[in-house]
Structure 1
Amino acid sequence: MPVSSDTLSPSTELGRLLSATAEQQGRAGYADTLREILQQPQTWRDTAGLLAGSTVAALLSQALIPRPEHIVLTGSGSSVHAGECLAAVLQAALRIPCRAIPAGDLLTHARGTLAPGRGLIVSIARSGDSPESAAVVDSILAAAPACTHLVVTCNAKGRLATRYRDEPRVRVLLLDARTNDRSLVMTSSFTNLLLAGGALAPDETYATHSAAAADIAQRVFDRHADALAMIARRDFAAAVYLGSGPALGAVRESALKMLEMSGGAVTTMAETFLGLRHGPMSALNRPSLVVAFLSAQASVRDYEYDLLRELDRKQLGLARVIVGENIPAGVVAAGDLAIDLPGLDALGETQRHMIDIVVGQLLAFFRCLHLGQKPDAPSAGVLTRVVEEFAIHPAGEAR
């Protein structure tokens, strides 16, 4: 179902796309993706309300009883990037070691990646039907019976949501069906899964920060979409995404969105600001877009500003998209786009990542359209919405 322009953004670019008929949106291949990107502010408010309810609050509280010795956040593709955003945040709040591990690694190298002891395994999934998703839960249930499991998913009919109804070691947090994106690429599913996972660390400001994030995301749509569309039309074949600390998960997700939605036409790299100097900076010695997600911490931003000034001095990169609050003029060069968002630094870290990711989604969406591709199903014949079934092989003995 297409989105209507009469209730949403005054952006010229978005208004033009939204004014198309349902048939036109479907033929152009963007109806699902655009609706799912733009529904995020409202779905965040609804997810925050769900998380605040007594039933879900009790479920999340019970997932931490008995207190786990470690927490693993797992998933495949975009889902593990949500875990990367959350791991350091949850570890700081809960004072429990937390680590994001791709489901594929747990499937093939569990002995080297899964710490011993009583763990909480948080499986994050849009559909819950990727072949390795249930296989990982099955294998850990058998090999590490002391571990308990929390599934966070958008799909009530998926294997992760239905397979373990009679297994007391597995709890399921099911999000609203609207978050189960129909598009190939994850957008509102990703940010809502991220929001839900962050609620493992109880915080009385969580709902307030989530509502504030929804307002800021709407401002991105209203005031910055046109500028993002313009920069998406620039002549670049590569994009480098930068963040610090837990923002690296948001950086990786945003880089993946550009890679997916461009059908591989734009090569991408995700790196930390400080890590860029150690070799990866060589990727900018050609026309490349740099996307920089600034930290809320002043001491961290000093490092980030230094790197941006260095890129300017060396004339590296075609242009930059810089996302933050109170961005100083000295780090914004001619041709750059500064997305300055009042209130961003006051958000919780999880909600801040959600805003960065929204910017990354819009940029990739507009690039996809500029390249003449269909955002609902880019890379036709290569990618599918849910990874195709593949054989799950029995685990071998460690050597």
Structure 2
Amino acid sequence: MTDTCQEVRQQPAVWRETAAMLASRSTSIKEFLEPILAAPDLRIVLTGAGTSAFAGQILAPALSRSLRRRVEAIATTDIVSNPQEIFAEDVPTLLVSFARSGDSPESVAATELAASCLRSVHQLVITCNADGHLARTHSGDPSALVLLMPPATNDRGFAMTSSFTSMLLTAWLVLAPDQDLQLADQLADAAERVLARADELTPYAERGYERIVYLGSGPLGGLARESALKLLELTAGEIVSYYDTPLGFRHGPKAVLEERTLAVVYLSNDPYTRQYDQDIATELDAAIGADNVLVVDAQPSDRDSILQVEGVADVNDAPLALPYVVIAQLLALRFSVALGRTPDNPFPDGEVNRVVQGVTIHPLQP
């Protein structure tokens, strides 16, 4: 079994372990976050690069709704290149950094730029590497809190899998109000059911698809983006992947559809939003055939080409992304293997690296 395969399959276990860690640190987490979140003008910025940035894109819409305050997902790559625009408004800020290694140049620089541009900033660092720069720099800092994920989440494989989901779960459990840590068990149970049905995804990798489109609304829009990246990474770009929202897809991007396209539609649990998701699924059925449209849904359905994720019909769309993304990870693995790629190292010549290289951080002029 490859490292990546193992890291996909271990996710239910590490989610439970993550929840246990949060329970053991509940007092210190509450003491740090409560006074910060009490500030009426607080701005929350969720940041990271690549997959870590997509964790923020999943969480930001749902946290804005549940906290009834401004929560923004801004990639470290945007912060580093344009800090004076990103931090133009000097208001109390909580910068939440997602980082598997904590050593990416942009991740380190984003925290430093926030501290230099803002008069009042607190840092919540969610990382998988105790030895990484972010963990070492912010541990012991009274204006920061470092939450370390279980050691197994520091993925050995190229693509982020268990690191991504564990960090996302952590942020939701500590930032969304009135969260029960037992949610981790509910999500883990659902993911175990998905993993038990993994073979149902194998035929999709054997059909010769050349393009895959992922569509999702609200928090699931960030999931669509992560799903597209996972496929792109593990197939080393051999299969073209695309992401969008169901409504946005009609405005030009629908041109990507052709006879060798698979469309994956993530259905929201929100009754209003899912109407738009169902509409695009029906439209895609007519455009490319229902056999080429895989609908992922937590609700019961009589649709043929559907993968129902059981046991999470009452879950908010942000944490719902955890068992949903397991499907995307399994698809990417199967396409990678079908194409003769090595999932743990799809870029043996080093064109793309596990921790980004070649970035020069330029000093910010006063």
Which category describes the TM-score, using the shorter chain as reference length? Answer: over 0.9
| Contact 1:324–1:344 (8 Å) recurs in 2 | no
Pairing 1:229–2:202 present: yes
Distance 1:35 1:97 in 2: 37
Spell out the pairing of 1:87-236 with structure 2 (5 A cutoff). Answer: 87-114=60-87, 115-165=89-139, 167-222=141-196, 224-236=197-209
Distance 2:157 2:3 in 1: 6
The one-letter code sitting in structure 2 at the alignment partner of 1:290 is A
User: Which consecutive residues of structure 1, in runs of 5 or more, have no partner in the other structure?
Assistant: 1-24, 26-30
- Counterpart of 2:5? 34
> What RMSD in Å do the two structures reach over aligned CA positions?
1.9
The one-letter code sitting in structure 1 at the alignment partner of 2:320 is R
Distance 2:23 2:31 in 1: 10
Distance 1:314 1:65, change over 3 A: closer
The one-letter code sitting in structure 1 at the alignment partner of 2:360 is A
The one-letter code sitting in structure 2 at the alignment partner of 1:342 is E
- Counterpart of 2:241? 268
The one-letter code sitting in structure 1 at the alignment partner of 2:245 is T
Spell out the pairing of 1:307-346 with structure 2 (5 A cutoff). Answer: 307-315=280-288, 319-329=292-302, 332=304, 337-346=305-314
How far apart are residue 92 of structure 1 and its match?
A: 1.7
How far apart are residue 190 of structure 1 and its match?
A: 0.3
User: Which consecutive residues of structure 2, in runs of 5 or more, have no partner in the other structure?
Assistant: none
- Counterpart of 1:245? 218
1:237-276, Cα deviation, whole Å (9 max, x unpaired): 1110000111111111111000000000011111001111
| Contact 2:215–2:221 (8 Å) recurs in 1 | yes
- TM value normalised by structure 1: 0.86
The one-letter code sitting in structure 1 at the alignment partner of 2:130 is A
| Contact 1:151–1:171 (8 Å) recurs in 2 | yes
The one-letter code sitting in structure 1 at the alignment partner of 2:173 is A
* Count of paired positions: 362
| Contact 1:250–1:353 (8 Å) recurs in 2 | yes
| Aligned residue among 387, 393, 396 for 2:362 | 393
How far apart are residue 137 of structure 1 and its match?
A: 1.0
How far apart are residue 130 of structure 1 and its match?
A: 0.3
The one-letter code sitting in structure 2 at the alignment partner of 1:141 is A
How far apart are residue 286 of structure 1 and its match?
A: 3.5
| Contact 1:72–1:121 (8 Å) recurs in 2 | yes
- TM value normalised by structure 2: 0.93
Distance 1:181 1:59, change over 3 A: farther
Distance 1:136 1:111 in 2: 12
Distance 1:213 1:305, change over 3 A: same
Distance 1:269 1:171 in 2: 36
SS at match of 1:52: helix
Distance 1:276 1:103 in 2: 26
| Aligned residue among 223, 229, 239 for 1:256 | 229
Distance 1:239 1:116 in 2: 42
1:266-295, Cα deviation, whole Å (9 max, x unpaired): 111110011111111110134111111101
Distance 1:326 1:95, change over 3 A: closer
How far apart are residue 52 of structure 1 and its match?
A: 2.2
- Counterpart of 2:22? 51
| Contact 2:157–2:345 (8 Å) recurs in 1 | yes
1:211-252, Cα deviation, whole Å (9 max, x unpaired): 111001000111x21111221222111110000111111111
